[in-house]
Structure 1
């Protein structure tokens, strides 16, 4: 089996719910050995985030929620109560054998247990220690708790998502997925790899990485933030409209909806030809991109009835033939039924002993390597599944030592 790019890296994942586990899953997909630490009894909070839950052979809910499944594949799970001195000692022993530690506790929480960066770096100076919190390790908001929707609100994303105020249903809108968590997890995964490269290639020491969900969300507003910083103009909500070429928006056809983007003047001209109205190419209001941006409302008024006369599949075929970018607005059932998505292998199956058919379906990692492909997808571990094996293999503990920890409730 091909080894992943990070196959010699060991990661201790002390994070819960989404941002941290997502980052650790990215590293696990790339071949790192990721050990997930869970609380005895309850485990990762996300195990309770259901329904839906994976069903067993009798149709009963297991403890494996779809939320937990989405962020914990390719990992191993051990249980450890870090509130107990023996649990803290166990973590320190594990850290000594790891390259990376990921955590998303409140600022200062792990210092109480001697598991903060300053303490653990003394035992392992090469350690890359990544903290993911809502507001970061510094600043006046650092102690605050927070959730994804709070960061979408505070970071500006909700102000630029949704319909304009003067349209029925207009107002700030949260995105469906928890993008602040996902984006922070992605930033954390690439920052960890950069820190490993700096350590192993450029002779840098181990270091602490501070990732804030609010920071990650703000950075990801990208060209919208740049628009404000360059011009001083506050971007507004435009529904499905883009900010580049026009038209760039959803249109309603006779039997459904379609997304169309005429990104340049040539595509716009071909769009007009498909609709049977080439004269719109030279219309004084729409002849250039800048004019179409300024006159976007008038553009919509003209093109909406023209598109509405078409059926979705007919228009998609015509636009594809003409080289005008367009796509259907799919629900997730349609997404995974799409032949192109299937050809790209975006759904994978793995063995799962708890499920009714012995399988679990997961979204694949989208990265395609030519030499070190991601081909090994192991189902997310059950709680504490690897506790005894890892304590024996990594720390050399015998059955009696492990049993003593279990009797004390440490594992």
Structure 2
């Protein structure tokens, strides 16, 4: 079944993950995405060989997950945008596109003549999309940023997860963490802009910043601070449960794994929990026999829950807790997430064939249409589709050779 973006043409002049991830999502949804890469170096992310201390590539293969994730489903064209001989090709691609997607800084966009006014002069109907670190206006508009700086550090997440007595700042839990969220956000903005164009005939400039996505992710706390008119004091969290609910927090099992409980109505779930874990007497204990008492004695109740949870293994608790109706989850590492039965049942771990013909798997973008998971195709090799795309534009073999000799194309 064709995706909802089938027929939409996207021209991407971007690198790393933040903005390219949006192109990947649009490709998952059926759009045709052409990725322009630097004619010599390609996307700078192709040069990264380590991520979080681990190899970023698969030995003996061209399969590189950090390139595949944000670039799957695209075609790659090696084009030297700073070479005048490449300009006619770029302009023809712009004419044929519905969306122009970039994360180049304003100074670079001006130098390459790919700013909004430049692109709109070629195609007035195009949706122009800018991803940035800190926004299109303000003192940092021309400042570069990564998700570790703009999203995680400046957007409030790092401070929010680092305990007050910590001797080091808590790092992002995964590579391209904020970038991936930001890419999904951009894809949604593009969909809205295309809808607006289809219904009103008016086109849009779409702006999404990593800082903005970071602030949106931490908005609950930021909004509290804005209401209070001051910083929100960072309180030391109880060792077990929360300050007023023993069934809201993480607990360690006997084999040093973790279970996250989030039963936000302790009065409702406490009796059931006590029965399920084999301690029914705690439900009628005079310290915990009403909601008010459970909340008032949460620290004491939390210590008892911690003792109970420490008495069985992770696997045992996954079986036991499944008998109740309260909300809980196993704390999973990256490998376990990739094997999660619910993700797999919903097609959110998707197969893809790499350039050597081997079957691989990638996390699919989380939005599905008509209960159909996306069919993924691999990310392109550097400049893999240059000849193919340029021939589609009408260039002859002689013209292709001339561009390559001039250094305008790869």
Structure 2 partner of 1:309? 311
Aligned length: 397
> Residues 95 and 242 (structure 1 numbering): CA distance in 2 closer, same or farther, change over 3 Å?
farther
Structure 1 partner of 2:276? 274
Query: Where in structure 2 are the equivalents of 1:238-277 lying within 5 Å?
Result: 238=237, 246-255=246-255, 256-264=257-265, 265-275=267-277, 276-277=279-280
Measured after TM superposition, the shift of residue 367 of structure 1 is 2.3
Structure 2 partner of 1:160? 160
TM-score normalised to the size of structure 1?
A: 0.88
Unaligned runs of 5+ in 2: none
In 2, Cα distance between the equivalents of 1:364 and 1:10? 21
Per-residue CA distance 1:187-212 (angstroms, 9 max, x = gap): 211111111111111222x2211221
Measured after TM superposition, the shift of residue 295 of structure 1 is 6.1
Task: Specify which of 165, 188, 191 is matched with residue 190 of structure 1.
Answer: 188
> Residues 223 and 289 (structure 1 numbering): CA distance in 2 closer, same or farther, change over 3 Å?
farther
Pairwise CA RMSD of aligned residues? 2.6
Per-residue CA distance 1:83-112 (angstroms, 9 max, x = gap): 111223321221011000110111232112
Is 1:221 the counterpart of 2:218? The answer is yes
Whether the aligned pair in 2 keeps the contact of 1:28 and 1:74 (CA below 8 Å) is yes
Structure 2 partner of 1:362? 362
Is 1:212 the counterpart of 2:215? The answer is no
Q: Please, which moves more after superposition, 345-354 or 272-281?
A: 272-281
Structure 2 partner of 1:20? 19
Whether the aligned pair in 2 keeps the contact of 1:38 and 1:44 (CA below 8 Å) is yes
Whether the aligned pair in 2 keeps the contact of 1:245 and 1:261 (CA below 8 Å) is no
In 2, Cα distance between the equivalents of 1:101 and 1:286? 61
Q: Please, which moves more after superposition, 262-271 or 137-146?
A: 262-271
Is 1:399 the counterpart of 2:397? The answer is yes
Query: Where in structure 2 are the equivalents of 1:4-15 lying within 5 Å?
Result: 4-15=3-14
Q: SS at 2:213's partner residue?
A: helix
Structure 2 partner of 1:115? 114
> Residues 248 and 33 (structure 1 numbering): CA distance in 2 closer, same or farther, change over 3 Å?
same
Whether the aligned pair in 2 keeps the contact of 1:88 and 1:114 (CA below 8 Å) is no
Query: Where in structure 2 are the equivalents of 1:124-143 lying within 5 Å?
Result: 124-143=123-142
Q: SS at 1:348's partner residue?
A: strand
In 2, Cα distance between the equivalents of 1:335 and 1:13? 30
Measured after TM superposition, the shift of residue 250 of structure 1 is 1.4
Structure 2 partner of 1:201? 199
In 2, Cα distance between the equivalents of 1:325 and 1:360? 33
> Residues 375 and 190 (structure 1 numbering): CA distance in 2 closer, same or farther, change over 3 Å?
closer
Unaligned runs of 5+ in 1: none
Q: SS at 1:321's partner residue?
A: coil
In 2, Cα distance between the equivalents of 1:318 and 1:137? 52
Is 1:331 the counterpart of 2:329? The answer is no
Is 1:106 the counterpart of 2:105? The answer is yes
In 2, Cα distance between the equivalents of 1:284 and 1:325? 23
Q: SS at 1:258's partner residue?
A: strand
